[in-house]
Structure 1
Amino acid sequence: MNLTLYFKRFFNNSQFSGIMLILCVIISLLIANSSVGDGFQRFLDKKIGVSVFHLEYPVSVWINDGLMAVFFLLVGLEIKREIIEGELSSFKNASLPIFAAIGGMIVPAVIFTIFNIGTQYENGWGIPMATDIAFSLAIISMLGSRIPNSIKIFLAALAIVDDLGAILVIAIFYTDQIHWVYLLLSLGVTLLLFILNFFKVTKLIFYIIPGIFLWYFLHHSGIHATIAGVLLAFSIPTNESDTEISPLEKLEHTLSVPVSFLIMPIFALANTNITFNATMIGGLTNTLGLGIVCGLVLGKLIGINLFSFLAIKFKLSSLPQNSSWMQMIGVGCLAGIGFTMSIFIALLSFKTEIQIQDEAKFAILVASFLSAFLGYMILKISSKKFSED
C-alpha cells in the first residue's frame, strides 16, 4: 500500500526537523542549567493573553495546549486520510494500533504500581503510560526509507491513541474538577463540525472557526485541549480522488512545514527545560525512578508487542505490511519516549512535592533517552532498504 502524498511529505519534513528537534533538546537543557536558566523559566511562566475572555495563560501553556493542538490536528488529518484510502483502510490494519496502545498503557501502569503500591509515590501510576508523539515520530523519521511506511503509520496511529488515552486518564483521575457546561459546549461544537461534514460543506473557514471555539471550551472544561485538534481533523472532509484536492489535503499542505520546522522545535525548547540537581540522581534508584524507567523502557515494549501478538493470533488484526516482529519491537521501544505528557502527569501527581517532581522528571528523561536509543538502533539494524513510492 503506497503512502499518501501528504503523509509522505510530513515524514520527509520530520526527517529533517528531527535533527532540529534533538538540537533544541540539547539547547534547552544547556539553557536550563546555565546562568540564563532562571530567566528562561520566568519567560515560560509569564502570562500572556486576553484576561477578559479568561485567555491569559503562561507561555508554556500556550505552547503545550495551543501549538500542540495544531500538531495533533495535522497528525489527525494524516490518520484520517490513511483510514479513508490508505494503510489503515482495513479493519485488521486499523485495529492493531488500538490494541497495541491499550497494552502500552496497561502494562507500564501495572509495572509502576508493583514498584510503588503503598508508598508515597503510588499516585504516579499514570506517568509511564504516555508516548511522546512528537519525539517518537521525529526519531523514526530520521531513519528515512529504511523503515516501511506501514510501520511509520502504525507508530503515528499508536501514539495518537496512546495520547488520547493519557488525556482521558488525566481527565478522569488527575483533574480536580470537570466544568460540565464547557464540556457540553465542546460536545455541541463537535456535533456541529460533523453536521457540516455530513452536508458536504467544503470551505475550511467553516471548520477552523468552530475548531477555535472547540479548543476554548475544551481548555476551560478541564480536559487537555489538544484533543480538539484530533476532533477537528476527523471532521474535515476528504475524498478518494487523485485529481481533486480535498479540504483535508489543502489543510495538510498548509500545516506540514510550520508544524515540522516551527511548532515542534518550540515544543522541544519549552519542555526540555529541566534543571539538574543532586537529588535527581538518587531518584533513579528509589521505587519512583525504577517504576518510571521500567514502566517506559520495558512496560511499553512488552505491552505493545504482547497485545499486538494476541490481536494477530486471534485474527483481529494483521501485522503492518512489509514489516517484521523485530521492527515491532523497535516501535515498542520508541513508544517508551514518554517525555512531555509523562512530565505533565508527574506534575499533576505530586503537585506540592517539588523534590519528587524533579526526581520524576530526571527518571522520565533517562527512560526516554534509553527508549529512543534502543528503538533507533533496533529499527536501523533490523530494517532493509525500502523503495516505496
Structure 2
Amino acid sequence: MPKTSRLFSRISKGQTRWLGAALRNETTGGILLLVAAIAALAWANVDYDSYSTLKEFKFGPAELHLDLSLGKWAADGLLAIFFFVAGIELKHELVLGSLKDKAVAAVPIAAALGGMIVPATIFAFFNAGQPTASGWGIPMATDIAFALAVLAVAGRSLPLELRAFLLTLAVVDDLGAILVIAIFYTAKLNFLALAVAVGGLFIFGMLQKKRVTGWYFYLPLAAIIWAALHESGIHATIAGVAMGMLMNLKQTDGVLHVVHPISAGFAVPVFAFFSAGVSVAGMSIGDVFESPVALGVVLGLVVGKPLGVVGTAYLMARFTRASLSKELSWWDVATLGSLAGVGFTVSLLINELAFGGTEADAMGTLAVLLASTIAAIFATIALQFRKRAYSGV
C-alpha cells in the first residue's frame, strides 16, 4: 500500500533548532520593519517634501551608472542582502528541510503556487486592458518577517510545525517572486554585463566548493557580481539569491549568524522606510474603492492569498497521498492562509518596478500597506480562536 505523507508532520530536532533561530531572526526583523514603515508614513504625511528630498538624494560613481538615489540603493542594494538570506534558506529547505522529500515538498510548493496564481489572477481581472495591468505581480508575495511578527505576538500557542510550514511557504513564495522579477520585470539585457555576472557567480561557486573562507575574497567578488547584474538590466537583487543558493551548507550557519541580523535589522527596515512613505493627502476611501490597482492588490492579498494557499493544500490532501496531521485542524491551515496575505517587502519592490514614476505608484504602495494591515488583523483574530482551541478554553 502506498505510503501516506503527512502535511505539517512533526519535524526533527535538528530542524527544530534551525527553524527556531530563523523564526527568531525573522520575527525581530518584522517588528523593526513595522516601526520603519510607520515612521515613513508619519514623516511623509507631515512633511512629504523633506521625505522625498532624502529619498531622492543621489550618490555613487556615475561612470559605472551607479549614481543612485537612497531609495534606489535600498531597493537594489540592501535588498540583495535580504535575497541572499532567502537564497540560503531556500537551499537549506531543498537539501535538508521539508523540500528534501518530494512527496512532502509537493504540498508547500503547490500551496505557494496557488497563493501566487490566485492573487495575480484577481489583480489581472480588475486591471485587464489597462496600463496598470503590469502590476499583476504585486499581490503574489508573502512577507515572512511581517507574517512571523504577527504570529510571534498573537500565535505563540500554535505548533512549531505550522510555523515551519509558513517559513517554507514563504521561501518558495520568494523564489516565485524572484523568477517573476527576473523574467517579467526586466526591460532590456546587456549580455556582456550578464556574462561578467555569470562568470563571477561561477568563481563564487567554485570557491564555495573548495570551502575557501575569508570575507576579503567574497566581498569584492559579491560587489562585482552585483554591479554587473545591475548593469545587465536584471534586477540586482537576483545576485543575492544566486549567491545564497551557491553557498556551501556547512558554512551557512556562520554566515547567517553575521548576515541575517544585518538583513532583518537594517536592510529590510531601511528599504521599508524608503518604500512605505506615501502621502495620503487628498485621498479618500472612495479613491481606493474606485482604483483598479487598489482593488486588485487588496483583494488579491486579503482574499486571493488565503484562497490560493488553503484551497491548493486541501486539493493536495484530497486527491494525493498527502494528509493533514492528526494533531492539527484545517482551521489552523485557514489561519495560516490569512497570514500569507500579509505582503510587504517584495510586494513594494514589484510595485516600484511596475509603476515607479507613475501615478499608480502611490496607490499601489497604499494598497499594499492597507492589504497587509487588514490581513494582519484578520490573522490576529483567527489566531486568538486557535489559541483558545489549543489551551482548551
Counterpart residue number, 1:333: 338
TM-score scaled to structure 1, two decimals? 0.85
Is this contact kept in 1: 2:118–2:305, CA < 8 A?
Answer: yes
Counterpart residue number, 1:308: 313
What is the CA distance between 1:16 and its match in structure 2? 4.1
Is this contact kept in 2: 1:18–1:138, CA < 8 A?
Answer: yes
Alignment of 1:202-221 (within 5 A): 202-203=213-214, 205-221=216-232
Match of 1:234 among 245, 265, 271: 245
Corresponding residue SS for 2:46:
coil
Corresponding residue SS for 2:68:
strand
Corresponding residue SS for 1:275:
coil
Cα deviation code 1:279-324 (max 9, x no counterpart): 3533321233222211111111111122222334443766589654
What is the CA distance between 1:110 and its match in structure 2? 1.3
What is the CA distance between 1:378 and its match in structure 2? 2.1
- Greater CA drift, 121-130 or 23-32: 121-130
Counterpart residue number, 2:376: 372
Is this contact kept in 2: 1:164–1:227, CA < 8 A?
Answer: no
Alignment of 1:242-281 (within 5 A): 246-279=250-283, 281=285
1:335 counterpart letter in structure 2: A
The answer for unaligned runs of 5 or more in structure 1 is 239-245
Query: Matched residues in 2 for 1:201 and 1:32: separation?
Result: 46
Change (3 A) 1:57 1:259: same
What is the CA distance between 1:274 and its match in structure 2? 1.2
Query: Matched residues in 2 for 1:131 and 1:97: separation?
Result: 13
Alignment of 1:149-228 (within 5 A): 149-203=160-214, 205-228=216-239
Query: Matched residues in 2 for 1:8 and 1:34: separation?
Result: 39
What is the CA distance between 1:42 and its match in structure 2? 1.1
Query: Matched residues in 2 for 1:195 and 1:317: separation?
Result: 38
Query: Matched residues in 2 for 1:322 and 1:209: separation?
Result: 49
Corresponding residue SS for 1:284:
helix
Match of 1:26 among 30, 38, 47: 38
1:261 counterpart letter in structure 2: G
Is this contact kept in 2: 1:133–1:159, CA < 8 A?
Answer: yes
Alignment of 1:127-138 (within 5 A): 127-138=138-149
Question: How many residue pairs are counted as aligned between the two chains?
Answer: 377
Change (3 A) 1:230 1:152: farther
Aligned-residue Cα RMSD (Å) equals: 2.9
The answer for unaligned runs of 5 or more in structure 2 is 1-10
Query: Matched residues in 2 for 1:341 and 1:24: separation?
Result: 16
Corresponding residue SS for 2:289:
coil
2:173 counterpart letter in structure 1: D
Match of 1:103 among 101, 106, 114: 114
- Does residue 126 (structure 1) correspond to residue 137 (structure 2)? The answer is yes
Counterpart residue number, 2:83: 72
Corresponding residue SS for 2:320:
coil
Counterpart residue number, 2:68: 57
2:377 counterpart letter in structure 1: F
Change (3 A) 1:120 1:269: closer
TM-score scaled to structure 2, two decimals? 0.84
What is the CA distance between 1:385 and its match in structure 2? 10
